[in-house]
Amino acid sequence: MSYPRIRPRRLRRTPALRRLVAETRLDPAELILPMFVREGLTEPRPISSLPGVVQHSRDSLRKAAAEAVQAGVGGLMLFGVPAERDATGSGGIDPAGILNTAIRDVVAEVGDATVVMSDLCLDEFTSHGHCGLLTPAGDVENDATLRAYAEMALAQATAGVHVVGPSGMMDGQVAAVREALDVAGFTDVSILAYAAKYASAFYGPFREAVESALDGDRRTYQQDPANLRESLREVALDVAEGADMVMVKPALPYLDVLAAVRAAVDVPVAAYQVSGEYAMVEAAAANGWIDRERVMLETLTSIRRAGAQMILTYWAVEAADLLRRTG
């Protein structure tokens, strides 16, 4: 029998050959580490549904930020967990609130050695757990929420953040934040817009991490998992309003959305490998069902291959170390 001379397997023979012809590469500089800091802690507190992830104290946050920089991680996304909440989420705007304090701490610790980002949303700070201000009937009031986001953006910019991440999926949020920053002279603060954020069931462990008070769901403002074209419209609106970068969240269940967004825009595209994605892999690995490190890198590679230039992942530091060791 005659066999063809063209044999793709030749290029898979050795690790060196596979590295040489790899079409998609992961780099630590493309990874962003989400970090939680809780008001009042004196030492880190483990998050049971996110093995290996903690709520930081201010001291442990600074130390972990420095370690992430040493690992070569490209960015840090900060989330604040206040000791008390109210109906308007005032703790997110208060200059002395835990998130704004944490921004100052981390910027003082790492400077410009990495990109310091902060979540710009009210859900961690409201007593009802929604991403915006509520009407007397209990609906999220879009335009009142935009005014609160503008104040929150100014507080974060004043604290020294490099990038704000409006994540509440309010109509017009990017324009409101951009205008507030520009008028106040913070023209160099970038916006990473959570442009395609779905009302997903994969956020469960995150709710524990931020001690969410949410009763109900966010389906009236986050996107329907059935829709892709709607995401492209949302992304286009955010870019038109001044978003410097856009994000798809979650990542793995929405790789088709991610690929479509990448094809549609010329700004950097991020994806968030959310808490539920992380927790599923950790749980399966703990039971001995999968090779944890291989699956970790395979999932991140799939997100990168689909078009993400930046990936928010709770494995950022560990993955960066693995990538450096394996070349």
Active-site annotation holder among 218, 249, 262, 304: 249
CA 41, CA 60: separation in Å to the nearest integer? 10
Residue tagged active-site, from 38, 85, 197, 262: 197
- The torsion angle over the Cα atoms of residues 144, 38, 58 and 184, rounded to 10 degrees, is 0
Residue 257: phi and psi, rounded to 5, are -65, -45
* Axis crossing angle, helix 316-326 with helix 292-306, rounded to the nearest 10: 100
CA-to-CA distance for 45 and 76, rounded, in angstroms? Answer: 19
Amino acid code (one letter) for 154:
L
Q: Is 197 an annotated catalytic residue?
A: yes
DSSP reduced 3-state for 32? strand
> What are the phi and psi torsion angles at 198 (to 5°)?
-95, 150
In whole angstroms, what is the distance from residue 203 CA to residue 293 CA? 22
Q: Which two tokens stand for residue 209?
A: 């991490």
**Which residues are paired to 164 by β-bridges?**
118, 191
- Distance separating the N- and C-terminal Cα atoms of the chain: 40
Contact 167, 92 (CB under 8 A): no
Catalytic residues: 197, 249
